[in-house]
Chain A
């Protein structure tokens, strides 16, 4: 039985193999759509992108559009976070880095030491949005000062410590964890002006914005914040809180973010590695990114740049592409 048994034993493997083959051989990728791309010729190659999980969905949406125009260019998108993305970017591992904040000086130094030259391109805006549980509807607007007493170290445990007009309901906080760019940004905007470095530690931290939304939804007295995309999807289960940066209460919206009146907006960037722009597919993708970003950005929940700001970004990409040739 020895020989026969062994060859029989190989059967399931042949099966798995043929399954894998037939699946991988696959049919042709979707036919190219209307060619709005900047390049007429068919390009191919891999583009490596990593970085912010906030910018990730935007870049993914652009890649989806791009794959209809240039099906042979594969965009590999990771989401290691803004900091993790820059680490890989400055090690020369990626062509483009997504970022929800400008590059830090020490990160730029790393890039410089490794000989990675880059171009910073602003692609859109995110509005951090604060929400409360509907049972906490007396909180309609918070000033920077109130936020410091709420979010700062030794923060308020009942709402009347934030503002004497509020009832003495207990405070529960659901917010992004320390690895998040959202957390960094909120601390910098709210706490840094009062020379406070660290926020309170006794809150429910999560890297998943859906978990934050669910936590606030299920807890009376809960307050928290997350990106605009999640705020838009949250609907009636959560109550929006306006922010008063000193010039009156402003609600987060596309308009208030664009005209700058809402104080909790943050820029979204892509960083292009100049050397990679000498590859036609990377240059074409970067150009395509800015030609398409206005059409898709609202569908992924972020706020478009004003036209003149976008034109500046487009010019920056064009210059960088020209310089790389």
Chain B
């Protein structure tokens, strides 16, 4: 997507420089914009510093390998960590085919009519539904109607529903960014529309799709409300694995919630902050993965 336009853009950059604004109005506006950026940055840095200061001392290998305890110093998030990783894996596994499939259909094959437009509007709206609503949906559909109980698969399916609209929208954007010429070229050489979609459009769009997916996954693992409603347990002392679908589960955000609610200050501040650091580290790893994938494919093109 970037590849075709890159050479021309570079040439333009060399020959043309935007004039530096130096009227009072220009400068003032730029100053206001700078302040706006700083506010966001200051909030983020304050949050980070505060949490790291409170929680860094509680971080250790033991914190990752031990289950929770009533004694703050012995407390760990092993159950939550394995639960979150299992959820992540299952959500990725479910979201990729469903999200990309839906996007591919809507973007490449769906007829342009009222029905499709209705579908599109609905998907866009679904992306804005509060997460707790998905929790309630998961509780009634997966726990009771389908009888999955309060198990790992219920949590994974609930989170999948939560991120699916976002993944569909992001994937459609990715398909739309694939140049028309690639499709036309394929069709001109006698490929069927399906062959073009699967062998040309999809591979070209994969980097953007993956970026969108990883970003929505990182949203999913930070969610507390939907899985709490859909039956994540508050405490357990066993590991989760992605293939133990019918087991109970817990997750890091649930454990943070538990720690914050306890009466002892060591839990509310120290242990909760340490758990937040672990969750943020996970998010950071995922977001970096998204950036690396994007850069890697942009370069290889």
Residues of A within 8 A of B (CB): 1-2, 5-6, 8-9, 12-13, 15-17, 19-21, 23-27, 29-30, 46, 48, 53, 56-57, 60-61, 63-64, 67, 71, 74-79, 93, 208-210, 227, 229-230, 232-233, 296, 299-301
Complex partner residue of A12 from B200, B234, B238, B289, CB under 8 angstroms: B289
Contact present for B89 and A23 (CB under 8 Å): no
Complex CA distance for A200 and B239, rounded to whole angstroms: 46
Sampled A-B contacts (9; CB under 8 Å): A5-B203, A8-B296, A9-B207, A9-B293, A16-B88, A74-B238, A78-B233, A208-B261, A301-B263
Complex CA distance for A21 and B69, rounded to whole angstroms: 24
Chain A positions within 8 Å of B296 at CB level:
8
Chain A positions within 8 Å of B265 at CB level:
233
Q: Which of B68-85 contact A (CB under 8 A)?
A: 68-71, 78, 81-82, 85
A64 CB to nearest B CB, Å: 6
Contact present for B69 and A233 (CB under 8 Å): no
Complex CA distance for A56 and B233, rounded to whole angstroms: 11
Contact present for A20 and B85 (CB under 8 Å): yes
A79-B210 contact given A24-B86, A26-B65, CB 8 Å threshold = no
Contact with A along B246-279 (1 / 0, CB 8 A): 0110000000000011111100100000000000
Q: How large is the interface on B (under 10, 10 to 19, 20 to 34, 35 or more residues)?
A: 35 or more
A64-B248 contact given A20-B86, A26-B65, A75-B236, CB 8 Å threshold = no
A53 CB to nearest B CB, Å: 8
What is the chain A residue whose CB lies nearest that of B265?
Answer: A233
What is the chain A residue whose CB lies nearest that of B243?
Answer: A24
Contact present for A60 and B81 (CB under 8 Å): no
Complex CA distance for A200 and B204, rounded to whole angstroms: 64
Chain A positions within 8 Å of B206 at CB level:
5-6, 9
A217 CB to nearest B CB, Å: 13
A26 CB to nearest B CB, Å: 5
Chain A positions within 8 Å of B210 at CB level:
9, 12
Chain A positions within 8 Å of B242 at CB level:
20, 24
Complex CA distance for A76 and B301, rounded to whole angstroms: 50
Contact present for B237 and A24 (CB under 8 Å): no
Chain A positions within 8 Å of B260 at CB level:
210
Q: Is B235 an interface residue (CB 8 A)?
A: yes
Q: Is B245 an interface residue (CB 8 A)?
A: no
Which 9 pairs between the two chains have the least Cβ-Cβ distance? A76-B248, A74-B238, A24-B241, A20-B85, A2-B203, A233-B263, A67-B237, A77-B235, A61-B70
Complex partner residue of A78 from B70, B92, B234, CB under 8 angstroms: B234
Contact present for B200 and A26 (CB under 8 Å): no
Contact with A along B282-301 (1 / 0, CB 8 A): 00000001000100110011
Residues of B within 8 A of A (CB): 65-71, 78, 81-82, 85-86, 88-89, 92, 149-150, 199-200, 202-204, 206-207, 210, 214, 231, 233-242, 247-248, 260-265, 268, 289, 293, 296-297, 300-301
B212 CB to nearest A CB, Å: 13
A2-B261 contact given A12-B210, A19-B85, CB 8 Å threshold = no
Chain A positions within 8 Å of B231 at CB level:
78
Contact present for A46 and B248 (CB under 8 Å): yes
Contact present for B70 and A20 (CB under 8 Å): no
Contact present for B82 and A75 (CB under 8 Å): no
A69 CB to nearest B CB, Å: 12
Contact present for A12 and B86 (CB under 8 Å): no
Chain A positions within 8 Å of B262 at CB level:
57
Complex partner residue of A67 from B67, B71, B86, B149, CB under 8 angstroms: B67
Contact present for A299 and B70 (CB under 8 Å): yes
Chain A positions within 8 Å of B149 at CB level:
93
Complex CA distance for A74 and B242, rounded to whole angstroms: 17
Contact present for A74 and B236 (CB under 8 Å): yes
A252 CB to nearest B CB, Å: 14
Chain B positions within 8 Å of A75 at CB level:
235-237
What is the chain B residue whose CB lies nearest that of A19?
Answer: B85
Contact present for A77 and B233 (CB under 8 Å): yes
Chain A positions within 8 Å of B202 at CB level:
6
Complex CA distance for A210 and B71, rounded to whole angstroms: 18
Complex CA distance for A6 and B235, rounded to whole angstroms: 40
Contact present for A6 and B203 (CB under 8 Å): yes
B129 CB to nearest A CB, Å: 24
Contact present for B237 and A64 (CB under 8 Å): yes
What is the chain A residue whose CB lies nearest that of B206?
Answer: A9
Complex CA distance for A64 and B236, rounded to whole angstroms: 9
Most A C-beta atoms less than 10 A away, residue of B66, B86, B237, B240 = B237
Complex CA distance for A1 and B201, rounded to whole angstroms: 11
